[in-house]
A and B are shown apart, each in its own frame.
Chain A
């Protein structure tokens, strides 16, 4: 009875009338409030620190042993001689790969680019070279790809880092998955041609040649783009085709490792960094404005769905991939050895475990996570048999290294462990048009 009386009271009638009369300005006001709230999300009070969800991925547990900076500079010197001679570079790369001891293959491709600004259609053709490092005692069921593009933008040092890491990896015997070292030409077209041929998909307009050698299912891809011998920042580019993001654990592990080596990482550079690849403004990574800018540019890059860098075509096939781009060569730049070292650690970890963590987010920076659906991994792995409890929003568990059992135990068991897949399948993820609003579909 009280309820009924409330509805009929004069006050409520007045309130309802007011709301109905002022519905338009009220709507606009609420919409603006929503935008303001969105803009406030990057602030630290509204999000949580990033963390590595996968329990078995213990960041920093792998010994950082790579010390061969001499080979990076040697390779960089040899590569600098090539300049624009792509074919000569490919031939030299084939020889280098086979000297290291990898199985070397190459793929030809050609593509007809649709006419963009004129009646003539441009056609590109090129050759990609890749070397496969076969893991001992493994059945080649899974593989990782370490890719470095070569083309108009000089990627001399990226190739040098890749080659020296290849030599280092060949000497280790704990790999559980094959590693494919891929050098593509022609930007994303070359990568698209390679992955199409690998997956057996055909795309209209790209004529991809057959792949003479293969490994198993690709689990993760790291793409390197570095053009200077010392870098200040590592820009980790995560957006892919159609706005698909890789598994966040990959990004967070990279961030943590990068920080351990003294190279700060960012998802986007400062304002001026948008204009040209070379010029950048040092991003003040703790600045709120920069975080807001990062969120905005993430949204701006995801919405059109265009590929951002060489890792993007892999994401379409649900293979987690990121591009690491070295930025800056100011006075505080660190040598590439550090980058190479943590990439070695990353691949060593990747060879064993991957996670089932959340995939969708708009991170204001590599150290914070917004919109992150609570992540649960309920698995019974060969290393750990604990199931993590669901995390409620607001749980401020710190990220970083956890208690570490001995590295030797981890290394011994790491070749036995497996790489779990990505976030769970949902076909809505893959069809994103610019009009669809991207929302977290699975909150688990």
Chain B
């Protein structure tokens, strides 16, 4: 009898699986995952490595909001999907960066990011962004272990034109208003392996297979620039954008110091020498797993590979020829033999240090002006080396305690086409200045703005108060028709046309109070009260009266009569 019941159970299970398995398979089939590593020599001999792990899922972004709609997450990280669904997020961008990208020497980055943490999000059209934004910030800080909770209303912005939606636009209303956009940046935030580990957990293959095998914290953090990115956008699944899905792109950009060898004129790197881990397999979940090396000769210096690539080709990226060598990991690895990949090494011969790099067309640099604790100023230089006029959007975000004086804004060389200024409210809102500038060809424009430093209450100072406070990086957004200095992967990213540059964040010191004063005051007041109050109180409130003569004792009187004691009474 028991055996027969067991047979029934088995039969039912088999039927159930046969019915549901196609659905599950179908869920996974609608997801596609690809991983790519792009490496190139930068103009000063450094090596930049850009990882891009991208998952495309054909679920419509609006379906996310209803938890019942999505039942099988597949290779899409469930934790992130739930956050996105719960807070009605349409588009989410988070970057955690250490270091400043040196645009003048390195060109433009594939994924621009300011130093520190940056989080910006577009919410779905029906969402209440005011209510959802704090929750989203908390959820993202928990997801990646970053201290994003420091973002509050005083450090959140709604730029009008500088941050438009990437990816597919779901409704026409979104293009006109920025009520659904929130932007915040924390230049003070430090990034370390505590952020890196949860980020790797979002990868389908993690660090077990594929390009994730190269991740070793010691070598990734011993570099000159390190940037983690998480970009969630709606994605057009076909050319006409008839079908819309979502795309999650996890990016990592690392710039390694120049890989010098014993011969000073030869620079040589290999995956093993940079990452210190072998690459043995491709991620089986990825339909494409590639390592691309750009082999353009830089100013006459040849770049040579030690291994024959699967594919070489010349790609036209934004008006400039790029020679790319692509290594397809799927074809190079054989999962049955599980042999490590033959080492790839790249060397460039007769490297002369400090070749003057061709300057990118657009450069921005910002610095502080003035010393002392009362007045100060911001000065920005925007250089346009192109032979034609360029129109840029300039976004400046200044905390409320640096009181900007807009009448001191002076712009030279460039023309201000329009201006949008949101003044600050103490402790509620920060200053935001957005300018649309037209830069004349081959010129350097200067913007300067003065501010006054406010006094903060003594509890509002951060730990290590004398360090100072940061002003967010200024953001320059533009569309370039030609971009010879762009570092970019294949033409899959729609963002190629939009160029974003971040200036340096500024560290400004505020007048700090003497934090020992509360202690001093307590000590002093308590001492005064303990010592002086009693005496002063007595002196002021006691009335003195002559003492009445006390009646003497009988014995004393007798002794006095006899003559033993003196005749006079004692006082």
List residues of A whose CB falls within 8 A of some B CB: 1, 98-99, 101, 134, 136-142, 173, 199-201, 214, 216-217, 317-318, 354, 356, 376, 378-382, 390, 416, 418-422, 424-425, 430, 442, 444
Contact = CB atoms under 8 A, between A and B. Distances in A.
5 tightest A-B contacts by CB? A200-B369, A139-B115, A420-B466, A421-B466, A380-B463
A355 to B, nearest CB: 9
A416 B189 CA distance: 11
A317 B504 CA distance: 22
Interface string B498-524: 000000111111011111110110000
Contacts of A380: 463-464
Contacts of B116: 139
Interface in B86-103: 98-100, 102
B203 to A, nearest CB: 23
B190 interface: yes
Contacts of B421: none
Given A137-B98, A139-B504, A140-B100, A376 B516 contact: yes
Contacts of B508: 217
Contact of B224 (A137, A421, A430): A137
Given A98-B353, A136-B222, A390-B519, 20 more contacts: A138-B98, A139-B100, A140-B100, A141-B506, A141-B507, A199-B370, A200-B367, A200-B368, A201-B371, A214-B367, A217-B368, A378-B519, A379-B464, A379-B465, A379-B466, A379-B515, A382-B464, A420-B466, A421-B512, A424-B514
A173 B222 CA distance: 7
Interface string B226-243: 100000000000000000
Contacts of A138: 98-100
Nearest to B224: A136
A397 to B, nearest CB: 17
A379 B509 contact: no
B221 to A, nearest CB: 7
Contacts of A317: 371-372
Interface string B351-383: 001100000000001011111110001010000
Contacts of B74: none
A85 to B, nearest CB: 24
A55 to B, nearest CB: 13
Q: How large is the interface on B (under 10, 10 to 19, 20 to 34, 35 or more residues)?
A: 35 or more
Contacts of A419: 467
B514 A442 contact: yes
A134 to B, nearest CB: 7
Interface string B170-197: 0000000000000000010010000000
Chain A contact residues: over half helix, strand or loop, or mixed? loop
B257 A136 contact: yes
Interface of B: 98-100, 102, 115-116, 187, 190, 221-226, 257, 353-354, 365, 367-373, 377, 379, 463-468, 470, 504-509, 511-517, 519-520, 544
A383 to B, nearest CB: 10
Contact of A381 (B226, B463, B544): B463
Contacts of B98: 137-139
Contact of A136 (B223, B373, B516): B223
Given A139-B505, A140-B504, A378 B368 contact: no
A141 B512 CA distance: 19
Contacts of A1: 544
A421 B509 contact: yes
Given A139-B99, A317-B371, A421 B226 contact: no
Contact of B470 (A141, A382, A421): A141
Given A378-B516, A379-B515, A421-B466, A139 B187 contact: yes
Nearest to B515: A378
Contacts of A98: 353-354
A354 B116 CA distance: 22
Contact of B513 (A137, A200, A424): A424
Contacts of B367: 200, 214, 216
A214 B100 CA distance: 13
Contacts of B99: 136-139
A199 B369 contact: yes
B337 to A, nearest CB: 38
Nearest to A97: B354
Contacts of B511: 424-425
A318 B370 CA distance: 11
Nearest to B102: A134
Contact of B507 (A217, A390, A420): A217
A11 to B, nearest CB: 23
Contacts of A214: 365, 367
Nearest to B367: A214
A118 to B, nearest CB: 35
Contacts of A381: 463-464
